[in-house]
Amino acid sequence: MESKFSVENSIGKLWGKLDGWLDAIILKLPNIVMAIFIMVLFYFIARGIRKLLLKFLLKRISQQSIQDIIARFVFLTVILIGFFIALGVLELDKVLTSILAGAGVVGLAIGLALQGTLSNTFGGLILSFMPKINIDDFIESDGIKGFVSEISLRNIVVRQPDNNYVIIPNSKFIDGSFKNYSLSERSRIAVNCGVGYESKLQEVEHLVMKIIGENFPQKKNESVEFFFTEFGDSSINFMVRFWIDMKGAKQELEARHEAVKLIKYHFDAKDINIPFPIRTLDFGKNSLNMNANTIKAES
């Protein structure tokens, strides 16, 4: 028996299906309106939260690029929350479950593929919120000294005193230790020197303490400290420690420069010797033998 194609029968079935869809849409119309309302509502909520973050909460972050990224991330998160709520209102639970499962698989794959990049990204976020490091701070990390010129989601850029730039990955910087000279306004430095064995040590100590104390004022709970450290090969060595205003390497160099000049000037005025290493050559018996052989040869 051959089945015959009927145009009227096909059109009837099509209209029946369209009629069913129309009935479903009409029944779901309140849900659709509510879902649209939820999406619009969460859009304005996301905008408001983003503006609030940029205006108040993100002022502690100096990098504008990181501010924008964090604000955008929060905005998209709020929009996604509204989207999932809208799907629940539309009773699309299976679609919601599929989306969440797919997002989990994709997120896992991306995380495994970009482990190093994500580590640097989260490191940049941590550095942005750390109160111990800011732009223009003078830091030292893993033997690298310089001023922080940029903190991004991938790395931290340090400008060295010679104006060369060093780029340090955030993950490496976070895992290691660093010294921030800019956290404290005052730092203590030491200057080393030596005097001859013939010098009067008490006079040397008193003079150096006076020189440093008068030219480098010490604040409350600060003092100039003087210590003889060792009997050297040609001098008795000492160290003087004192506090200075210091937030960078240049201030330390300037203070050392001034202290060395002052000590040298006053030592010269008091005839205090700063000896330099002296090497004496003693030929001993070899010299006498050489002279005796020379005399015999001449005779």
Reported CATH class of domain 9-113: mainly alpha
Q: Which residues in the chain are classed under CATH 1.10.287?
A: 9-113
Q: Which residues in the chain are classed under CATH 2.30.30.60?
A: 132-182
Neighbours of 254 (CB within 10 A): 13
pTM of the complete model: 0.55
Fold of 132-182: SH3 type barrels. (2.30.30)
Fold of 184-269: Alpha-Beta Plaits (3.30.70)
Burial class (CB in 10 A: 0-12, 13-18, 19+), 54: middle
Q: Which residues in the chain are classed under CATH 3.30.70.100?
A: 184-269
From the centroid of its chain, how far is CA 157?
Answer: 8
Digit-by-digit pLDDT tens for the chain (299 residues) are 445 556 666 666 666 666 666 666 665 677 777 888 888 888 888 888 888 877 776 666 655 556 766 777 888 888 888 887 887 777 766 666 666 666 665 565 555 544 544 555 555 556 655 556 777 888 888 788 888 887 776 778 889 888 899 888 877 777 777 888 888 888 899 999 999 999 999 999 999 999 999 999 999 889 999 999 999 888 999 999 999 998 777 888 999 999 999 999 999 999 999 988 766 555 555 555 555 555 555 55
